[in-house]
Amino acid sequence: MLTTRPRGTTDILPGQTEKWQYLEDTIRRLCRQYGYGEIRTPIFEHTELFVRGVGETTDIVEKEMYTFVDRGERSITLRPEGTAPAVRAYLENRLFAGPQPVKLYYIGPMFRYDRPQAGRYRQFHQFGVEVFGSHDPAVDAEVCAMAMDLYARLGLSGLKLHINSVGCPRCRPVLREKLREFFLPRLDGLCASCRERLERNPLRILDCKVDTCRQAAVDAPAALDYLCPDCKEHFQAVLKHLDALGVAYQVDRFLVRGLDYYTHTAFEIMAPDIGAQSSVGGGGRYNGLIAACGGPDTPGIGYALGLERILLAMERQGVVFPGEKRLDVFLATADDAAREKALPLLQSLRREGLAADRDYLGRSLKAQMKYAGKLGVELVAILGSDELCRGVVTLKNMATGRQEAVPLDRLADEIRNSKGE
């Protein structure tokens, strides 16, 4: 146990973290350009927030939450998603009283107790955005376009945007009834959970991954056929904006998302080459959620993308990550006198903005050169008694083998010049 991490979690180590940083940097730049501000909410919240927010009949709430009672006898849940916390923060911090819409983004870990497999973890990371306060279908199109823009900036191709409208509280009861009528004679073909869902939340059946349920649902009624005039108009406007933006999409009549708060637009983005867990992101409108959490009647829309799945897709597609940041210089020392001078010299190089390091294990000069090679360092600055006497350092280019004596006060400039070569 002491040397084994919990199932479904990962250690992100140097070599891999650079890829995460590159992904996060790209996301932050994107968000700045689209006018989003970053929000950081707690990793845990009151359980009630997710039960009410995500929905009692969802897989997340029924089976997947990490919930515990804390020492103050409160029920606490590690956040399984970021929308409900963002809504809570919007209300608690009275962001609704400021200029609208409020455009927020977040990057961070989420927790769901599910069976781990490639692309599915118990602790995973999401980048998400939420827009509060606008009904405009242009926002629906813009958030879809923004997600697709991110994938394109990362060099990913072949991703598919699936989009649907799941209606609103006005048209949903009609659809519910139609679905109930449709599935009632097909009850035997449904899995145990779906049989239960028939009464409580028949829309969920369309989202079931069990083969027999999928077969039973082939000709099921779809929300698109029962949209009220407002929902229909909204959906058509969203598609028109997507066309105008040149964003390719596929209308997917049976797309229902696994969270209960969605109204109107719902979408999901699929990567064909990462296996069964192919959804690299999803989102939609949730016009009733803020009011359901006790706030003013305010519309909302957003999405979240799984960072592990994005990195997986990038690796599968052979995307080349920008070069790893290595040390600019390694300082090798030949004897004790030089070692003594090494630390102040290193500090002065770092103050000059260079990345520099040295040996701390008392290695021989030869072993230090070998170690520098393993680190992939291009320049090694060698300091020995001869160099100390002359007030110079021998700067060696590991790739060409060329070396020259550089006065100490010119060392930083010389390293910078070599970097630019």
219, two tokens: 């000709």
CA atoms within 13 A on the CB side of 63: 7
* Ligand-binding site membership of 82 (annotated): yes
Q: Binding site annotation covers 112?
A: yes
Cα 128 from Cα 283, distance rounded (Å) = 9
Which of 130, 142, 260, 378: binder of ligand HAM (CB under 6 A)? 130
| 123 labeled part of a ligand binding site | no
* Number of neighbours of residue 274 by Cβ within 10 angstroms: 23
Interface region with ligand HAM, contact rule CB under 6 A, candidates 126-134, 348-356, 374-382, 402-410: 126-134
What whole-number distance in Å separates Cα of residue 337 and Cα of residue 288?
A: 72
Out of 183, 306, 330, 380, name the contact with ligand HAM by CB under 6 A. 306
Kindly tell me the burial class for residue 213, based on how many C-beta atoms sit within 10 Å of its own C-beta (0-12, 13-18, 19 or more). Answer: buried
Cα 206 to Cα 255: distance, rounded to the nearest angstrom = 8
Beta bridge partners of 110: 124
Q: Would you state the torsion angle of the CA atoms of residues 318, 209, 83, 239, taken in this order, to the nearest 10 degrees?
A: 70
**Residue 114 CB, nearest distance to ligand HAM (Å)?**
5
Part in contact with ligand HAM (CB under 6 A); list of ranges 191-199, 233-241, 277-285, 397-405 = 277-285
Cα dihedral across residues 293, 295, 297, 302: positive or negative = negative
SS3 for 60? Answer: helix
State yes or no: 262 annotated in a binding site.
Answer: yes
271 forms part of the interface with ligand HAM (CB under 6 A): no
Interface with ligand HAM includes 55 (CB under 6 A)?
no
For residue 130, give the 3-state DSSP assignment.
Answer: strand
3-state SS track over 140-161:
HHHHHHHHHHHHHHCCCCCCEE
Cα angle: 268, vertex 273, 274; to 5 degrees? 75
**Does residue 112 touch ligand HAM according to CB under 6 A?**
yes
Residue from 90, 124, 127, 267 binding ligand HAM (CB under 6 A): 124
How many angstroms separate the CA atoms of 114 and 60, rounded?
9
CB of 289 to ligand HAM, least distance (A): 9
How far apart are CB 262 and ligand HAM at their closest, in Å? 7
Q: Stretches 173-181, 274-282, 324-332, 364-372: which one binds ligand HAM (CB under 6 A)? A: 274-282
Q: Which two tokens stand for residue 295?
A: 């706030």
Taking the C-alpha atoms of residue 184 and residue 195, their distance in angstroms, rounded to an integer, is 9
Helix (H, G, I), strand (E, B) or coil at 114: coil
When asked if residue 82 is in the footprint of ligand HAM (CB under 6 A), the reply is yes
Q: Is residue 283 close enough to count as binding ligand HAM by CB under 6 A?
A: yes
Do residues 163 and 284 lie in contact, with contact meaning Cβ atoms separated by under 8 Å?
no
CA separation for the pair 362, 339 (Å, rounded): 9
Among 309, 311, 359, 371, binds ligand HAM (CB under 6 A): 309
How many residues line the site for ligand HAM (CB under 6 A)? 26
- DSSP per-residue codes, 215-249: HHTTT---GGGG--HHHHHHHHHHHHHHHHHT---
Q: Minimum distance from CB of 75 to ligand HAM (Å)?
A: 21
For residue 67, say whether it is annotated as part of any ligand binding site.
Answer: no
Regarding 378 and contact with ligand HAM (CB under 6 A), the answer is no
Binding of residue 162 to ligand HAM (CB under 6 A): no
Least distance (Å) between residue 82 CB and ligand HAM: 6
Question: Residue 276 carries which DSSP code?
Answer: S
- Of 154, 168, 223, 304, the one binding ligand HAM (CB under 6 A) is 304
Assess 302 for contact with ligand HAM (CB under 6 A): yes
The answer to whether 83 is annotated as binding is: yes
Alpha-carbon distance 403 to 361, whole Å? 25
Q: Pairing mode, if any, of strands 160-165 and 123-132?
A: unpaired
Shortest distance, position 236 Cβ to ligand HAM, whole Å: 21
Q: Is 38 annotated as a binding residue?
A: no
Closer Cβ to ligand HAM, 221 or 300, answer by number: 300
Q: Does 126 engage in binding with ligand HAM (CB under 6 A)?
A: yes
Q: Is 81 annotated as a binding residue?
A: yes
- 128 belongs to the binding site for ligand HAM (CB under 6 A): yes
Q: Decide: is 108 part of the binding site for ligand HAM (CB under 6 A).
A: no
Q: Which residues sit opposite 407 in a β-bridge?
A: 392
What distance in Å separates the CA atoms of residue 76 and residue 140, rounded to the nearest whole number?
32
Applying CB under 6 A, among 47, 58, 83, 368 the residue interacting with ligand HAM is: 83
Residue 257, annotated ligand binder? yes
**Nearest residue by C-beta to ligand HAM?**
306
Would you count residue 267 as binding ligand HAM (CB under 6 A)?
Answer: no
- Chain centroid to CA 142: how far? 18
**Least distance (Å) from ligand HAM to the CB of residue 357?**
35
Interacting residue ranges for ligand HAM, rule: CB under 6 A: 81-83, 112, 114, 120-121, 124, 126, 128, 130, 258-259, 279-284, 302-306, 308-309
**Residue list for the binding site for L-histidine:** 81-83, 112, 126, 130, 257, 261-262
